[in-house]
């Protein structure tokens, strides 16, 4: 698991815990510890996750907030389900995608007026962790440049970061904050070489956008980005050959290298 994914998990769970507490006094407890799950523990506590017995790393985030009833708890991992303002609610769906993508499990205990505890377990690695690599020192995977790229994401901070990263590599970048905006741009621009498309967007999902893009430009390379795991994303598009997958959250180097690699695979030739 890359550090950015750990950061995303903790950030989402702590923010949700803080919002559950609201303006009143409360506590949030975050702890990590090694655990050994035997067959009995898995059968009694983690039966829904189909985990094998063995050593795990456990992450627990507990709060003394408002808690949830059973109906709310059953829907918290649905994309775009939220108890707050509309158009968001993607955090826990992304957390679940990361957990499943790494062979882990997640358990939620909650009671109205008492609080909520999220318990996550990940298979422990037998090898030592490598030192994190500075993004500035990452070698560029390919030297492709000069492409025209359409970035589609409903988060403005992601669009700004990704546009800056790709522009530094010599690409020309167009951005769209919604599916309809992306379709409009593509319909009026036949020079776009590749699309980087967010899977989960309010209003018009990445799947719906991809279908429309295929009608306009059937052979156009489209790279999907998502907080879900790559295996889950590719399963959604098993009938459609996508140009690549970018796990969110990603760094500026990661998106630049991934796009360049996808362009190189598709035989992109730099425009003069």
Enumerate domains of the chain plus CATH numbers.
3-123 (3.30.565.10), 142-264 (3.40.50.2300)
Q: Quickly count: other Cβ atoms within 10 Å of residue 255's Cβ.
A: 24
Q: For residue 191, give the DSSP letter.
A: T
d(CA 223, CA 150): 10
Residues 6+ apart with CB under 8 A from 18: 28, 63
Q: Average pLDDT, stretch 58-63?
A: 93
Answer yes or no: are the C-beta atoms of 114 and 103 closer than 8 Å.
no
Helices (H), the chain: 3-21, 39-45, 70-73, 91-101, 156-168, 179-187, 206-216, 230-236, 252-265
Q: Quickly count: other Cβ atoms within 10 Å of residue 257's Cβ.
A: 20
Answer yes or no: are the C-beta atoms of 224 and 245 closer than 8 Å.
yes
The predicted-structure confidence for 34-50, as pLDDT tens digits, reads as follows 888 888 778 777 767 77
Answer yes or no: are the C-beta atoms of 112 and 47 closer than 8 Å.
no
Share of the chain above pLDDT 90, in %: 35
The predicted-structure confidence for 147-190, as pLDDT tens digits, reads as follows 999 999 988 878 888 898 899 889 999 999 999 999 999 999 88
Kind and range of the H or E element at 29? Answer: strand 28-37
d(CA 233, CA 208): 14
The predicted-structure confidence for 115-126, as pLDDT tens digits, reads as follows 999 999 999 877
CA nearest to 103, candidates 249, 14, 229, 244: 229
Helices (H), 74-155: 91-101
The predicted-structure confidence for 151-161, as pLDDT tens digits, reads as follows 999 888 788 88
d(CA 8, CA 199): 17
- The three-state secondary structure class of 118 is strand
- The three-state secondary structure class of 1 is coil
Q: Average pLDDT, stretch 236-262?
A: 82
Confidence of residue 242 (pLDDT cuts 50, 70, 90): confident
Token pair 């949700």 in the structure block, residue: 16
* Burial class of residue 192 in the structure, from the number of CB atoms within 10 Å of its CB (0-12 exposed, 13-18 middle, 19+ buried): buried
Q: Quickly count: other Cβ atoms within 10 Å of residue 267's Cβ.
A: 7
- Is the whole model's pTM more than 0.75, yes or no? no
Share of the chain above pLDDT 70, in %: 82
pLDDT higher than 60, residue 83:
no
């Amino acid at each position: 698991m890359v550090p950015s994914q750990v950061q995303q998990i903790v950030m989402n769970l702590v923010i949700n815990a803080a919002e559950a507490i609201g303006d009143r006094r409360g506590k949030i407890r975050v702890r990590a510890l090694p655990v050994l799950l035997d067959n009995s523990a898995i059968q009694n506590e983690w039966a829904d996750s189909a985990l094998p017995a063995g050593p795990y790393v456990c992450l627990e985030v507990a709060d003394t907030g408002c808690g949830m009833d059973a109906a709310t708890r059953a829907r918290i991992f649905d994309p775009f389900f939220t108890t707050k303002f509309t158009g968001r609610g993607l955090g826990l769906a992304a957390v679940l995608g990361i957990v499943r993508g790494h062979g882990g499990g997640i358990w939620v205990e909650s009671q109205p007026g008492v609080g909520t505890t999220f318990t996550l377990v990940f298979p422990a690695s037998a090898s030592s962790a490598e030192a994190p690599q500075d993004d500035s020192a990452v070698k560029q995977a390919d030297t492709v440049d000069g492409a025209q790229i359409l970035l589609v994401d409903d988060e403005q901070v992601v669009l700004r970061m990704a546009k800056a990263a790709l522009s530094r590599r010599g690409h020309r970048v167009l951005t769209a904050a919604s599916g309809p905006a992306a379709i409009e741009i593509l319909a009026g621009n036949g020079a776009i070489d590749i699309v980087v498309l967010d899977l989960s967007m309010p209003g018009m999902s990445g799947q719906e956008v991809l279908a429309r893009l295929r009608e306009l430009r059937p052979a156009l390379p489209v790279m999907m980005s998502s907080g879900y795991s790559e295996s889950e994303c590719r399963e959604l598009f098993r009938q459609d050959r996508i140009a690549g997958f970018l796990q969110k959250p990603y760094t500026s180097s990661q998106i630049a290298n991934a796009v360049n690699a996808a362009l190189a695979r598709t035989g992109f030739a730099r425009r003069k």
